[in-house]
Amino acid sequence: MSGKLGRNDPCWCGSGRKYKKCHEAFDEKCARFRQEGFAVPAHSLIKTAAQVEKIKESCRINVAVLDYVAEHIRPGISTLEIDRWVHSETVRQGGIPAPLNYEGFPKSVCTSVNEVVCHGIPSEEEILREGDIVNVDVSTIYNGYYSDSSRMFCIGRVSPEREKLVKVVKECVEIGISRVKPWTPMGNMGHAVHQHALENGYTVVREIGGHGVGLEFHEDPWVSYTSAEGSGILMVPGLMFTIEPMVNMGSDEIYTDSEDGWTVRTEDGLPSAQWEVTVLVTDTGCEVICW
Ligand code: MF3
Ligand code: CO
């Protein structure tokens, strides 16, 4: 990786420190794991301390926007109203909503109600009713740095079945967070998430997963929540990615709306729920930087 870098040269991470005092031991450790057959993230996926600070500024806006949604969401509003809040709150704080015009996405936020798995498009016609469960997925660009997180909201009183689904998916994310440990394969995290969903009688969507984030909206690695223990890329300090399982009450089959090209729904029409956080792998575990 850094074969030509001298031990006294400045480290590749941009810290300004000598390589031997900074990432040399890290690179040696990566090389040993690579020899053992593990997939190890490229340097380009390892965030520098300066980048982490910038990305955290973006996260601060993302969290504040979701807090705003949490305070104002209620029965009777349309999902377009949520889009207006997200757009105005993001811009007010100096950010840009990352979904807007992203690969042609027409709005500033994804709102996914009940059987919508993800990528729901806010609409004037879609009114939130008591008993609905909705995922609001917010992503922000601030000074060129990206943040991404989503939460579930229960509209008024919802059925015990739906309430349980929402609660269990949150637990799935918390369990995933607890399994983010440096120098262990990412599959361990995904496996633990999957197990908790299965134990509660649910399924986890296989085709759509999480992703690296920070310098771009969607970076490597792709992150599965149905992975086998021991599989996948090694989680190393400085790697940043989302934990965002989509958990279905019924079957894991999904389809994309052919009319709008975005909205993903469950095949059986049963509800789906998702929470999303962004984590940074640290020397000792992980830091949740966006929620
Ligand atoms: N925020 C979503 C994610 O977690 C991505 C939405 S892309 C959009 O990856 F264009 F649909 F907004
Ligand atoms: Co995401």
Would you state the structure tokens that stand for residue 154, as one six-digit string? 């229960």
What is residue 65's predicted lDDT score, i.e. its pLDDT? 99
Task: Give me the amino acid identity at 94.
Answer: G
Contact criterion met (CB below 8 Å) for 30 and 23: no
pLDDT band at 222 (very low <50, low <70, confident <90, very high): very high
Mean pLDDT computed over 261-268: 98
pTM comes to 0.97
| Helices (H), ranges, the chain | 24-35, 49-72, 79-92, 160-178, 186-199
Over residues 170-218, the pLDDT tens digits come to 999 999 999 999 999 999 999 999 999 999 999 999 999 999 999 999 9
What is residue 3's predicted lDDT score, i.e. its pLDDT? 59
Q: Which residue, by CA, sits nearest to atom 8 of ligand 1? A: 99
Q: Which residues line ligand 1 (CB under 6 A)?
A: 99, 102-103, 105, 110, 119, 137, 139, 148, 244, 276
d(CA 30, CA 50): 22
Residue whose token pair is 């469950």: 266
Would you state the structure tokens that stand for residue 285, as one six-digit string? 């575990």
C-alpha 134 – ligand 2 centre gap (Å): 16
Longest pairwise C-alpha distance within the chain: 63
C-alpha 109 – ligand 1 centre gap (Å): 8
